Amino acid sequence: MRYYVLDRGDPLSVELSQQFHKLAEQRGFELDAESPEIVVSIGGDGTMLHAFHTFIDRIPDLAFVGVHTGHLGFYADWKADEIPKLIDLMCGIGDPKIMKPRIVKYPLVQLEIHKKSGTASFIALNEFTLKGVDGTLVAQVDINDVTFEMFRGDGICISTPSGSTAYNKSVGGAMVHPSIDALQIAEIASINNRIFRTLGSPLLLPKHHHCDIFSSKDQRLLLTVDHNNFQIDDLISVRCQVAEQKVSFARYRPFPFWNRVRDAFLG
Ligand code: NAP
């Protein structure tokens, strides 16, 4: 098996990373930074975001496994003391029924950025947000090429189902099961008055729909794609839709989404 490990860089994550390499070598795994089949992220959900973007060009060809070294993760299901067990299961040892992991696939959000100076595209695992740098964001939101609303406020958050438990949750979005091919549009502190009127509720778009956000004035904007930030001074529009490709996670045991939501937020 060709594998790669990314860790958060804190002492425990580095130690576990070394432990993983040692056990993997004993089992004949091949360390491969270019074309791994399995990428192991050791740290937190933020580490998984880094791992995802590190291998963004190879997403269809690999699966991720997450080990958490802090609190329970949404992308990281293995605990710090479970590395030997994880390696055993990766080798098909311990449970003869598990010779191969179950691969679960989660939807992603695709963005096409149109600027006066050119175009760019991105894929988000959690979400993309658009905010004003100097103050209020003013933007027209179209759904399926029809004007939907004029937005004025702090920003707009467009999340994937697996990202619904992250920033989206803080702005009042719904939790969405990752088996649903959808993106969620949630407002970040919208202003509502006679001129600017927004829906005021988060909404879900299915896979075959798209949404365009048009910058409605000259404004400096901050675009975030997961943990990455970009400033854009000449935005024309952003098109968002559910991406064609999905991200794969290798499951060596069940990791139900609703259990994770309960354990993370309800205790
Ligand atoms: P960070 O600011 O250092 O950490 C953000 C927190 O979000 C961490 O506790 C992280 O968990 C958690 N997180 C990441 N993905 C998650 C998910 N899918 N479900 C639930 N929690 C999740 O930033 P970062 O580690 O680089 O992560 C970037 C992410 O931060 C963005 O994608 C965005 O979702 C989130 N964020 C949230 C807010 C907010 O809620 N107001 C504001 C900005 C950004 P770990 O500790 O396990 O890494």
Same domain flag for 44 and 139: no
Residues involved in catalysis: 45
What's the mean pLDDT in 18-23? 98
pTM to 2 decimal places: 0.96
Same domain flag for 91 and 112: no
CA pair distance 187, 198, nearest whole angstrom: 9
CATH number (domain holding residue 49): 3.40.50.10330
Same domain flag for 214 and 235: yes
* Average of per-residue pLDDT values in the chain: 95
Q: Residue 125: is its pLDDT beyond 70? A: yes
Same domain flag for 52 and 118: no
What pLDDT, on the 0 to 100 scale, is given for residue 242? 98
Q: Residue 99: is its pLDDT beyond 70? A: no
Same domain flag for 93 and 76: yes
What pLDDT, on the 0 to 100 scale, is given for residue 91? 85
CA of 160 to the centre of ligand 1 (A): 13
CATH number (domain holding residue 234): 2.60.200.30
177-230 per-position pLDDT tens digit: 999 999 999 999 999 988 789 999 999 999 999 999 999 999 999 999 999 999
* Ranges 33-42, 64-73, 88-97: which has the least confidence: 88-97
Q: Residue 249: is its pLDDT beyond 60? A: yes
Same domain flag for 89 and 157: no
Same domain flag for 59 and 156: no
Q: Residue 149: is its pLDDT beyond 90? A: yes
CA of 162 to the centre of ligand 1 (A): 12
Same domain flag for 132 and 228: yes
- The count of domains in the chain is 2
CA pair distance 258, 175, nearest whole angstrom: 9
Closest ligand 1 atom to the C-alpha of 47? Answer: 48
What pLDDT, on the 0 to 100 scale, is given for residue 71? 81
Same domain flag for 140 and 220: yes
- Ligand 1 is surrounded, with C-beta below 6 A, by 44-46, 49, 70, 73-74, 126-127, 162-163, 165-167, 170, 226-227
Closest ligand 1 atom to the C-alpha of 73? Answer: 47
What pLDDT, on the 0 to 100 scale, is given for residue 94? 58
What's the mean pLDDT in 80-94? 88
Same domain flag for 74 and 129: no
Q: Residue 243: is its pLDDT beyond 60? A: yes
SS3 sequence, the chain?
CEEEEEECCCHHHHHHHHHHHHHHHHCCCEECCCCCCEEEEEECHHHHHHHHHHCHHHHHHCEEEEEECCCCCCCCCECHHHHHHHHHHHCCCCCCCCCCCEEEEEEEEEEEEEECCEEEEEEECCEEEEEECCCCEEEEEEECCEEEEEEEEEEEEEECCHHHHCHHHHCCCCCCCCCCCEEEEEEEEECCCCCCCCCCCCEEEECCCCEEEEECCCCCEEEEECCEEEEECCEEEEEEEEEEEEEEEEECCCCCHHHHHHHHHCC
- Which residue range is the domain that position 77 belongs to? 2-101+252-265
Q: Are 106 and 160 in contact (CB under 8 A)?
A: yes
What pLDDT, on the 0 to 100 scale, is given for residue 195? 78
